[in-house]
């Protein structure tokens, strides 16, 4: 167990640090990758979060260069510089930040201070009520590094890269149930909209599923850098590193390839059973309205 914990901690530090050159989405001209919002020379992950502000419909994008608010028409990009105070110390946050919008200007997040030696390297679960300008600690400061946060079934789900465990909370993140995940770093996971105990998770090279809230896992299929979204019980989406976009109607047992995205996908933000945004490796955002068959640009850096 100690050896595994040490390995997981090393993976967590590495993962919170290359990228394939994106091709064009269906019907769009090819464009070279941009380093405007992403440092393409660094190791992955390059993009950490893609979400949408429920009040303004602005895109919320976090990368290895920071936190950016992108207008819904893709024309304006505003860097968001935040800070967090804890135990009398202050640190800026934004780089390698995981976040989830919970309401207008309300965010849950996790990550690291931008500069080491200020606050602990792992910030645990943090919260902002002003759109990411200021943050406060909620739980597990110094102990948890949450690589994804999902709110569903009146629960908070998160993968903690320090423990290599799925954390599930019924009280908004104050307390958690811990369930260990398969060996290796989980790069994405999703929760079945119809079953709070059914979770599909991906590592760099394999897809897994649990039916009991993480108590036990079984492999589903080999998978290369899979990113996931589960907007409907009959529509689990995955995007592989080569840009293939697929759908499963049975929770990951069988897959149908439906289209291709123009580059290496990093984050999928589904807005309905057929609608989704995808952030590519350079921070470009593309959109589908037909379940992944065709795509159009929404933002190019």
What is the full per-residue pLDDT of the chain (301 aa) written as tens digits? 434 444 444 445 455 653 334 344 453 445 778 999 999 999 888 999 999 999 999 999 999 999 999 999 999 999 999 999 999 999 999 988 999 999 999 999 999 999 988 899 999 999 999 999 999 999 999 999 999 999 999 999 999 999 999 999 999 999 999 999 999 899 999 999 999 999 999 999 999 999 999 999 999 999 889 999 999 999 999 999 999 999 999 999 999 999 999 899 999 999 999 999 999 999 999 999 999 999 999 999 9
Cα(85)–Cα(88) distance, rounded to whole angstroms? Answer: 7
Q: What are phi and psi of 152, to 5 degrees?
A: -160, 150
Q: What are phi and psi of 278, to 5 degrees?
A: -130, 130
Q: What is the pLDDT of residue 23?
A: 42
Q: What is the pLDDT of residue 32?
A: 79
Q: What is the pLDDT of residue 177?
A: 97
Cα(233)–Cα(174) distance, rounded to whole angstroms? Answer: 28
Cα(292)–Cα(34) distance, rounded to whole angstroms? Answer: 24
Do residues 285 and 59 lie in contact, with contact meaning Cβ atoms separated by under 8 Å? yes
Which CATH class name applies to 2-299?
mainly beta
DSSP helix/strand/coil, 3: helix
Give the C-alpha distances (Å, rounded to integers) separating 166 from 98, 205, 242, 249.
15, 19, 27, 24
Q: What are phi and psi of 7, to 5 degrees?
A: -65, -45
Q: What is the pLDDT of residue 295?
A: 97
Residues written for the chain: 301
Element (H, E) at 60: strand 59-63
Nearest alpha-carbon partner for 47 in 239, 275, 246 = 239
Residue 100's CB: how many other CB atoms inside 10 A? Answer: 19
Residue 13's CB: how many other CB atoms inside 10 A? Answer: 15
Q: What is the pLDDT of residue 76?
A: 98
Name the burial class of residue 217, with classes exposed (0-12), middle (13-18) and buried (19+) by CB atoms within 10 angstroms of its CB.
Answer: buried
Place of tokens 């908070």: 156
């Amino acid at each position: 167990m100690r050896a595994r914990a040490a390995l997981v901690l090393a993976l967590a530090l590495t993962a919170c640090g290359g990228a394939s050159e994106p091709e064009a989405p269906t019907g769009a001209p090819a464009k070279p990758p941009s380093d405007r919002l992403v440092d393409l020379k660094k190791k992955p992950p390059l993009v950490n979060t893609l979400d949408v502000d429920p009040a303004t419909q602005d895109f919320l994008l976090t990368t290895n260069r920071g936190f950016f608010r992108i207008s819904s028409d893709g024309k304006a990009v505003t860097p968001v510089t935040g800070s967090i105070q804890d135990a009398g110390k202050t640190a800026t946050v934004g780089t390698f930040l995981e976040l989830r919008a919970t309401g207008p200007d309300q965010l849950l997040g996790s990550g690291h201070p931008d500069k080491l030696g200020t606050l602990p390297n792992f910030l645990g679960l943090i919260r902002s009520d002003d759109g990411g300008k200021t943050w406060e600690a909620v739980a597990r400061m110094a102990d948890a590094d949450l690589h994804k946060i999902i709110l569903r079934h009146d629960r908070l789900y998160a993968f903690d890269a320090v423990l290599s465990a799925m954390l599930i909370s019924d009280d908004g993140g104050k307390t958690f149930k811990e369930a260990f995940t398969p060996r290796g770093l989980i790069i994405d996971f999703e929760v079945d909209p119809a079953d709070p105990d059914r979770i599909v998770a991906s590592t760099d090279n394999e897809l897994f599923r649990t039916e009991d809230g993480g108590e036990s896992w079984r492999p589903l299929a080999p998978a290369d850098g899979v990113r996931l979204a589960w907007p409907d019980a009959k529509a689990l989406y995955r995007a592989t590193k080569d840009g293939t976009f697929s759908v499963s109607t049975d929770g990951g047992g069988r897959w149908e390839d439906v289209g291709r995205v123009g580059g290496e996908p990093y984050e999928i933000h589904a807005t309905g059973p057929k609608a989704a945004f995808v952030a590519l490796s350079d921070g470009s955002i593309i959109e589908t309205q037909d379940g992944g068959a065709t795509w159009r640009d929404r933002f190019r850096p």
